Amino acid sequence: MAPDERVMCRAGRDSYRGHMITLRALTKRYGELTAVSGLDLTVASGRVTGFLGPNGAGKSTTMRMIVGLDRPTSGEALIGGARYADLRWPLRHVGALLDAKAVHPGRSGRAHLVALARSNRIPLGRVEEVLDAVGLGKAAGRRAGGYSLGMSQRLGIAGALLGDPPVLLFDEPVNGLDPDGVRWVRGLMRSLAAEGRTVFLSSHLMSEMQQTADHLVVIGKGRLLADAPVGELVSGAAVEVLSPDHAALELLAARLPGARTAAPGRLLVQGAEAGKVGDLAHEMGLRLHGLRVTESSLEEAYLRLTEDSVEYGTA
């Protein structure tokens, strides 16, 4: 291995911070369909940024434009100030897992990573490092076509980490993983961000995202709905009221500001005191099966944000 290759591979370890993803009026149209509409966004380094939105919101299209797989109709996506297509050795700048099964099925996991490494002049010793890091060392010689979805996700993560890049994108990386694997991915994402890297992560698992992300970006129908820290979106407590008397519960909701029906027989009242809610229910003769204070969840905040952006709504 030439000395310059060793230096280039290690250079990123002291300079992860400051490499951001920047989207400027990013737009993608397919005929009359607008998948992404004028997206302005900065994904900062040193934190895990969660990327949320309903099916068809434009998340995958946005990620594909960032790494040059789709060409924007207008606007631009930059990585550290440069377009992906202009990066000489892109895997050293950005690693991405967008489709865990996008691997030649006849190649072994190791051969797949070796091909990636050679394409970007990454030392081949790095292949064994990332295989061990994701727990695929013993399965590296098997054909990737025979991998389970969970194993494919681990191989995709290994490929993203291969060039030791400062910027990382992961689209639904915990699909197919068992609970131990999900916990491992959570710890990995947070450790990568703690090193100063930019971590951009999409998922439909709200509880997992709430535990993993520091910052959240929510889009709906291709438009930006929220760009804020997790604590800002998930803030405050609510009083949960449970009663089998659905009609009476609706009358109680009408008298409480911030009340909404979360499910039949279940009422959530934002910013209220449990004692006052209980007293009012008693005055109205409402039969209670439960009264407790709950912390707001990301799922509830997300559903409120995206209620008008769901493509396939259900009753």
> Where exactly are the structural domains of the chain?
3-229, 237-295
Cβ 103 vs Cβ 155: under 8 Å: yes
Q: Identify whether the C-beta of residue 131 lies closer than 8 Å to the C-beta of residue 109.
A: yes
pLDDT tens for 9-30 read 444 445 788 899 999 999 999 9
3-state secondary structure of 59: helix
CA 269 from centroid of its chain's CA atoms: 29
Distance from C-alpha of 62 to C-alpha of 42, rounded to nearest angstrom:
13
CA distance 124 to 133: 15
Given a contact cutoff of 8 angstroms between Cβ atoms, the answer to whether 278 and 270 are in contact is no
Mean pLDDT of the region 192-211: 94
Q: What is the token pair recorded at 122?
A: 């990454």
| 29 close to 35: Cβ distance less than 8 angstroms | yes
Q: Which pLDDT does position 315 carry in this prediction?
A: 53
> For the whole model, what pTM was predicted?
0.80
Query: Confidence class of residue 293 from pLDDT cuts 50, 70 and 90?
Result: confident
pLDDT given for residue 14 in this prediction: 52
Predicted local confidence at residue 33, as pLDDT: 94
pLDDT at 9: 44
pLDDT in tens, 158-177: 999 999 999 999 999 999 99
Q: For residue 130, is pLDDT > 80?
A: yes
Q: Which amino acid is at 252?
A: L
pLDDT at position 198 over 70 = yes
- Provide the pLDDT for residue 11: 45
Q: What are phi and psi of 29, to 5 degrees?
A: -120, 145
Q: Where do the H-state alpha helices sit in the chain?
A: 3-11, 59-66, 109-119, 125-133, 149-161, 179-194, 206-212, 230-233, 246-254, 274-283, 298-306
User: At residue 214, does pLDDT exceed 90?
Assistant: yes
Q: How confident is the model at residue 301 (pLDDT cuts 50, 70, 90)?
A: confident
Residues in CB range of 287: below 8 A, 6 or more apart: 243, 244, 245, 248
Lowest mean pLDDT among 43-47, 78-82, 204-208: 204-208
> Do 92 and 163 contact (CB within 8 A), yes or no?
yes
Answer yes or no: is pLDDT of 4 > 50.
Answer: no
3-class SS of residue 225: strand
In whole angstroms, give the CA distance from residue 315 to residue 313.
7
Burial 192-208 (b: 16+ CB within 10 A, else e): bbeebbbbbbbbeebeb
CATH of domain 3-229: 3.40.50.300
Percent of the chain beyond pLDDT 70? 94
Q: From the options 3.30.450, 1.10.600, 1.10.1060, 3.30.70, give the CATH code of 237-295.
A: 3.30.70
Q: Which residues of 25-54 are buried (b: 16+ CB within 10 A; e: fewer)?
A: ebbbeeeeebbbbebebebbbbbbbbbbbb
**pLDDT for the residue 313:** 60
Please enumerate in sequence order all residues whose Cβ is within 8 A of that of 189, keeping only pairs 6 or more positions apart, or say none: 48, 170, 199, 201, 212
β-strand 47-52 against 215-220: which pairing, if any?
parallel
| Predicted pLDDT of residue 311 | 67
The average confidence (pLDDT) of the chain is: 91
pLDDT score of 314? 59
Residue-level pLDDT at 16: 84
pLDDT of residue 142: 97
* 210, two tokens: 């709430």
pLDDT at 312 (0 to 100): 60
pLDDT tens-digit readout, 250-291: 999 999 988 888 788 999 888 788 999 999 999 999 999 999
What is the pLDDT at residue 121? 96
Q: Which of 103-107, 221-225, 296-300 has the lowest mean pLDDT?
A: 296-300
